[in-house]
A = this chain, B = another copy of it.
Amino acid sequence: MSPRNEESSGDAVNRILEAATELFAQHGFDHVSMNTVAEAARVSKANVFHHFKSKDELYVRAMRQACEASRSSLEVMANGEGDAWQRIRLFIDEHLAHMLDNTRDSRLILREVVENRPGAGQRLAQEVFRDNFNRLVELIGQCQREGALRADLDPVFFSTLLLGANVFFFQSQEVLRHLDGVEFADEPGRYGAMFVDVLMRGAMGGPADNEGM
């Protein structure tokens, strides 16, 4: 059942998978026909169905690949030196850079989030986000124990906010470009620096002392 020779047969499978990932990420599931995938992979459509029993299976495989690539790419992140504070900064910077460098996989995953098909949320949460999310939560917890961040802040919430700001920037770049006065739309570095700065300040120091509410 498993392919005998990795050169010829595995080659086609990989070409199909690569083409499918690229096309799905670029145009979305519904705008990509199996014929298009076949042509892009320089293979007959029937052969695509020989290796993947349905369009859905092909899509799931492409998703899974993108997820794994995304996860393993981020795995080496923020294991460097420095205090927890600096490591958070680094983590966020690298996370945004990763999304912008791997627009293909990121778009594919993001599409799945917005599409909101039943069960997808849970699967994505478990297979893609959980690890990085938990690592960031842990980092933030360390920060709190070191006293760099206020203790009454929910690390889970703060982690959400940090990652959310990145995701939002990534997905809204095109809209941001056309809003008045947005000069950082094409400068992810500046954006990242600014938002980490604001969020970190907000997470620092003593108890709340803001007036009202």
Chain A residues within CB distance 8 Å of chain B: 28, 30-31, 82-83, 85-86, 89, 107, 110-111, 113-116, 120-122, 124-126, 129-130, 133-134, 137, 153-154, 156-158, 160-161, 164-165, 167-169, 171-172, 174-184, 191, 193-195, 197-205, 208, 210-213
Further contacts, 15 of them, CB under 8 A, given A125-B176, A197-B208: A85-B212, A86-B212, A116-B174, A121-B177, A125-B177, A134-B180, A156-B179, A157-B182, A157-B184, A161-B198, A164-B165, A193-B213, A197-B210, A201-B208, A204-B210
Known: A137-B181, A167-B168. Contact between A113 and B175, CB under 8 A? yes
Instruction: State whether A183 touches B202 (Cβ < 8 A).
Output: no
| Listed residue (A85, A107, A172, A203) with the most chain B CB atoms within 10 angstroms of its CB | A172
Q: Chain B residues near A191 (CB, 8 Å)?
A: 157
Q: Given the complex, which residues of B lie within 8 Å of A82, measured CB to CB? A: 212
Chain B residues within 8 Å of A126, by CB: 178
List the B residue with the shortest CB-CB distance to A193: B213
- CB-CB < 8 A to A172: which residues of B? 113, 164, 167
**A169 cross-chain contacts in B, Cβ below 8 A:** 164
Contact of A199 with B197 in the complex, beta carbons under 8 Å: no
Q: How far is the CB of A105 from chain B (nearest CB, A)?
A: 15
**In the bound complex, do residue B198 and residue A202 qualify as a contact, i.e. CB atoms below 8 Å apart?**
yes
Chain B residues lying within 8 Å of A115, measured Cβ to Cβ, are 28
- Please list the 4 inter-chain residue pairs (A to B) with the smallest Cβ-Cβ separation, ordered nearest first: A202-B202, A121-B174, A125-B178, A164-B168
Q: What CA separation (Å) do A158 and B176 show in the bound complex? A: 13
Q: How far is the CB of A198 from chain B (nearest CB, A)?
A: 4
Residues of B within 8 A of A182 (CB): 156-157, 160
Closest residue on chain B to residue A199 by CB atoms: B202
A178, B111: Cβ atoms closer than 8 Å: no
Residue among A160, A191, A205 with the most chain B CB within 10 A? Answer: A160
